[in-house]
Amino acid sequence: AQSVTQLGSHVSVSEGALVLLRCNYSSSVPPYLFWYVQYPNQGLQLLLKYTSAATLVKGINGFEAEFKKSETSFHLTKPSAHMSDAAEYFCAVSPTGGGNKLTFGTGTQLKVEL
Amino acid sequence: DTAVSQTPKYLVTQMGNDKSIKCEQNLGHDTMYWYKQDSKKFLKIMFSYNNKELIINETVPNRFSPKSPDKAHLNLHINSLELGDSAVYFCASSPNKGNGYTFGSGTRLTVV
């Protein structure tokens, strides 16, 4: 079964600093990978996705993620954090074979401080 | 023009009651889902329907019964509500593989 592990349930950065949220996947073949953001009392919004095209994926709000097969990682980055980036971030995986079930990581809460 | 809309947004009810949550999507997607998010923000899939056909049924108590009258609607009925059912329930839809899901804004269910 495929899964993702998010390292660090809470990450705190200063405004203007680099954001790095870590995600490692477990799969026998490279899967589809996603990052979602959840603002308080809202649903989940797709930030970006990896579907076996370019390994460096750019998303909305200045976020990007790089797929590294050798490290089984799909870390999310943003060069300069903004106060509005404070939210819960989820990494998710779905199979490239049969089915389209999305399995989520446990989430990372990002706090942005002045 | 909300893409995936859920009603109600908040639901407070007593133990033992039966309640329903409705979901509608206007994206033309073939597949719809129900997810449960617990108090620790963990998201777990409950059900998935593809064009009105049940394709995923995770280990969910029989008290939970999804119904899909057409591919744009997926409702969730819960019988004999228990305290442990308190959570946020999300509906989602997707067109096909590799495109991710579009989520509704969630229904916060509180059982007292």
Q: Residue B66: how many CB atoms within 10 A of its CB?
A: 20
For chain B, give the mean pLDDT.
Answer: 93
Alpha helices in B1-112 (DSSP H): none
A54 band by pLDDT with thresholds 50, 70 and 90: confident
Report the percent of chain B where pLDDT is more than 70.
98
pLDDT of residue A98: 66
A77 band by pLDDT with thresholds 50, 70 and 90: very high
3-state secondary structure of A14: strand
> Which candidate from B55, B90, B99 shows the least CB-CB separation from A43?
B90
| Alpha carbon distance B36, B90 (integer Å) | 6
Q: Do B97 and A102 touch (CB under 8 A)?
A: no
pLDDT of residue A91: 97
Res. A9: pLDDT tops 80: yes
Any idea which residue has 């060069």 for tokens?
Answer: A79
Q: Do B43 and A104 touch (CB under 8 A)?
A: yes
Residues of chain B with Cβ-Cβ distance to A38 below 8 Å are 41
Q: Are B32 and A77 in contact (CB under 8 A)?
A: no
> Which candidate from B48, B55, B103 shows the least CB-CB separation from A44?
B103
B18 min Cα distance to partner chain A (Å): 24
